[in-house]
Amino acid sequence: MSKVNTTVHLSGLTMKNPVTTGSGTFGSGLEMKDYVDLTKLGAITVKGTTLEARPGNISPRIAETPAGILNSIGLENPGVDVFIKYILPQVAKYETPIIVNIAGSSVEDYGEISSILDLEENVAALEINISCPNVKNGGMAFGTNPQTAYDAIHQVRKNTSKPIFAKLSPNVTDIVEMAKVAEKAGADGLSLINTLLGMAIDIKKKRPVLGNVMGGLSGPAIKPVALRMVYQVSQAVNLPIIGQGGIVCWEDAVEFLLAGATAVSVGTGNFLEPDATMKVAEGIEQYLIDNGYSDVNEIIGLAWR
């Protein structure tokens, strides 16, 4: 029996501990079942799902950096119908809340996919990836413009009664403004941050390393930025936050909780250590014990409270 309470509540989503997985770094969860006890995760956030199957971007899709990775996967996935029919039932057997990350190319896409997933009792919550290009607006990402961000989130809100978490892009001038937009649009919570836009160049070929030229930077390099944004946003809105960005160990996770996150998501850390989520969950619990806390909620936002 645990000596401390690690349960957290995020606007209709209850997690047995504050640790979930970063979308796109953990597959559906099934790929990691030999390394991680999926029943011991607070939630499983599955990779980005779209209305139709997507082949992803051209190769190369991954580039290593000194303190992280650049990725340009391009939301490769089999589409929502295949996910519901073949993947969701298998993941649901582990009885851990499933958060489905959704993406679209138009506001209408977001509404349609959320209405489909709203019917699935095994889906606990939706995470809205608003870093996707808006094909009707010149390819600009939904999440970099307050109006298009609002439109995408609000469209999801109108089409589901499930908790929705807006995954905010850090590639903006004012993250607090975007968080307030998400709150106004009806988000139940926030996931922050998504990847920072970056690139790498091969000096021998004198060409960009990634086939898509630019990609998302994740890993330890972005942690200070993510931490700062969680710290700012948690004081500005009345929404629970799933903090993410460079969390590779329990110490990183505790920093995010102290900054104001209610839960944390381990992403690139899964590539470094397949059981990183387990180590983070166990480390948080031990930290609470060692510091005399009986409940994880006691330390949320302690850095500014």
* Catalytic residue from among 44, 70, 128, 132: 132
Q: Identify whether the C-beta of residue 100 lies closer than 8 Å to the C-beta of residue 117.
A: yes
SS3 labels along 183-212: HHHCCCEEEECCCEEEECEECCCCEECCCC
132 flagged as catalytic: yes
Determine the Cα–Cα distance for residues 244 and 270; give it in Å rounded to an integer: 13
Largest CA distance in the chain: 58
Q: Would you please indicate which residues are annotated as catalytic (active-site) residues?
A: 132
